Structure 1
Amino acid sequence: MRIATPLAYATDPRSGADAVATWEQDGLDVVWVSEAYGFDAPTIMGYLAAKTTRLQIGSAILPIYSRTPALLAQTAAGLDAVSGGRAILGLGASGPQVIEGWHGVAYDRPLTRTREVIRICRQVWRRETLVNEGIYRLPLPAEEGTGLGKPLKILTRPVRDSIPIYVASLGDKNVRMTAEVADGWLPFLYDPGRAADIWGAALAAGQRKRSADLPPLEVVAGGPLAIGADVTGLRDLARPLIALYVGGMGAKGRNFYHDLLCRYGYADDADRIQELYLAGRKTEAAAAVPAELLERTSLIGPESYVRDRVQAYRDAGVTILNVTPLGPDPRRLIATVKDMAR
């Protein structure tokens, strides 16, 4: 099991890259760069490529609506070139709030769109001439443009003809599609003890349709990490982020994270968090996050406890343990959890 860490939205990119370069020496294998409506991820990923030598650099995530498939493929190929073949293209549909509110693009047909994006990206990296009939019509037909468009293939030669594509997904249909066509899966608020009940059937259905040409599906999950006798209070640091997603990343009746908490058995808590957050009472919304959820989606406690948590993620099928080290000595935490993962 490999070890990864996310670069948080609020992190200064330069100091964050310096820290990641140090953690690389302690065994860190993958760093994930988020985007949402903060800094764009590819710029920071390119900076990380220059600061590191071994670890993989992934986007988590680039929304499929904000860039054309060809641009997504070009961006991943460029990052793969400057990093020497260390790029991971993490994709996701995001949600209507961000896509329509920030990008001004209609949030429609996310599953079909994701499939097409993945297929077109792989065509680009194989240097195939782009022709596509679907949501993305390549070349654009004359009745929709000038009629001068022609099929093209990428001018440069990608370092790899198959860059790993990981998909962030939560709902059954999206998870099934991810297991069928992606190289990796990026779930959110992953509880290893309940994952099989929530996603097992969808993953199995997708795996049955998976091409033999694809490698085994990577599963990326984890949470905040702290090791010690008196560190359980650090679980509370996750409250504002969970409240943001469950309460604010969507609307009533259209919030994937709220739905996930309901599936976990926290329906009343999810409703309460959403109600408070949408009313502007963010502190109270954070306080309403169940303590049990904080425990089950983190790796915080004495060393023996954290070791058991690492094993629980491994037993659940996680192949890349994604941790956020908390406390004054993140290097020790990365090195320790790397030993546990071995």
Structure 2
Amino acid sequence: MTIRWGMTVPLGGVSLTDHNAVYAALAQADFTDLWSAEVNGADAFTPLALAAAWQPRLRLGTAIASVYTRGPALLAMNAAALAEAAPGRFALGIGASSPVLVQDWNATRFVEPFRRTRDTLRFLRAALRGDTVDEVYDTFTIRRFRLDRPPSVPPPILLAALRPRMLRLAGAEADGTILNWLAATDVPRVLAEVGQRRPGFEVVARLFVCPTEDATHARALGRRLIASYLTVPAYAEFHRWLGREPVLGPMWQAWAAGDRRAAAAAVPDELVDALVLHGTPEVCRTKVRQYVAAGVDTPVIALLPTPELAAGGSAALATVIAQLGRSTGN
């Protein structure tokens, strides 16, 4: 499979109206993909809808749309609309998300995440084919739903997965998997759980990239991110499974005690350096390629703030985008 090269959008500090120039710069720098993130900023689909109109060559993907925060039919409609706007170049990434996003922010119960994800995957597969779905699933029931505008090219469906059960589901029923918060050295172990990869099965990984030689800044930011993300139950269990209990145990204990500052301080430099790629843009690009060598088909950069970007504004951002591009220096 040809190596793809993605960026997480929208970029922080840039208005959606100004992303036209950002998307053009990414295309010019030989990025092939834009993958949206949906937390508490823009929704997963609007930035991609803009890109569908502005950049007709870039591939678009959600990483991820939660299987809880939209009803199954609405999620199918969102996906079908974007697939119609960008035929053949949209991929739907779905996943369970987290209790904070689902329960605390969207007033929806976060229960049975494996079965809810599996049921949504199966429903979407049928709905996006244009089938009439009349089905009692384990976690919801659909009565005679059919898309009025089924896409002429149904999008591939990728499943966000961390641990063996979800990874095996992705390998058996999805068109790919989306990985997050892992080191390049973790990739082979994770992909071993997927099983034999079918032709066309795609492995996407979001990678946190802080392109600066200011290691103090990068590590301080990395510690804060790790403390806030890897204390989420699903990510904590993921890293326990990866064998990082001895490394992350002090952070988890401090976080459980309510001491956020101590939790961040407990994260060692070695772990930050493995999970948050920093250095010059050239060094960062080399580190991204280590994931490709380990089995990732589509690395997706999540660009983190740096002192240089803060001081240099849009000109510095354009330069960094050019330096992080797929073919730069090849």
TM-score range relative to shorter protein: 0.7 to 0.9
Correspondence for 1:339: 327
In the other structure, the counterpart of 1:223 is 208
CA distance 1:330–1:120, change in 2 (3 Å): same
Residue type of the alignment partner of 2:151: P
Q: Does 1:267 align with 2:245?
A: yes
Q: Which residue of 2 aligns with 1:188?
A: 180
- Once the two structures are superposed, the pairs formed by residues 111-260 of structure 1 within 5 Å of their partners are 111-135=114-138, 136-139=140-143, 151-160=144-153, 162-197=154-189, 199-204=190-195, 207=196, 215-226=200-211, 230-236=213-219, 237-247=221-231, 249=232, 255-260=233-238
1:7 is matched with which residue?
9
- Give me the identity figure in percent: 27
Per the TM alignment, residue 340 of structure 1 is displaced from its structure 2 partner at its CA by 6.0
Q: Is the 8 A contact 2:39 2:101 kept in 1?
A: yes
Taking the aligned partners of 2:328 and 2:242, their CA distance within structure 1 comes to 27
Superimposed CA distance per residue, residues 216-263 of structure 1 (whole angstroms, 9 cap, x where no aligned partner)? 233324330527xx344453233222211123x3xxxxx121223334
Residues 164-193 of structure 1, C-alpha deviation per residue, up to 9 Å, x if partnerless?
212211121011111222222111112111
Shift in CA distance, 307/90, structure 1 to aligned 2, threshold 3 Å: closer
Whether 1:293 and 2:271 are equivalent positions in the alignment is: yes
Q: Whole-Å Cα distance in 2 between the matches of residues 37 and 332 of structure 1?
A: 28
Q: Is the 8 A contact 1:300 1:306 kept in 2?
A: yes
CA distance in 2, matches of 1:189, 1:78: 30
Question: What secondary structure sits across from 2:224 in the alignment?
Answer: helix
State how 1:48-63 maps to structure 2 within 5 Å.
48-63=51-66
Q: What's the RMSD between the two structures over aligned residues? A: 2.8
Unaligned runs of 5+ in 2: 310-315
- Specify every segment of 5 or more residues in structure 1 that has no aligned partner in the other structure, as ranges: 140-150, 250-254
Q: Are 2:94 and 2:157, in contact at CA under 8 Å, matched by a contact in 1?
A: yes
Distance in 2, matches of 1:30 and 1:234, equals 28
For residues 57 and 28 of structure 1, what CA distance do their matches in structure 2 show? 11
Give the alignment's TM-score, normalised by structure 2.
Answer: 0.83
The one of 271, 287, 294 equivalent to 1:309 is 287
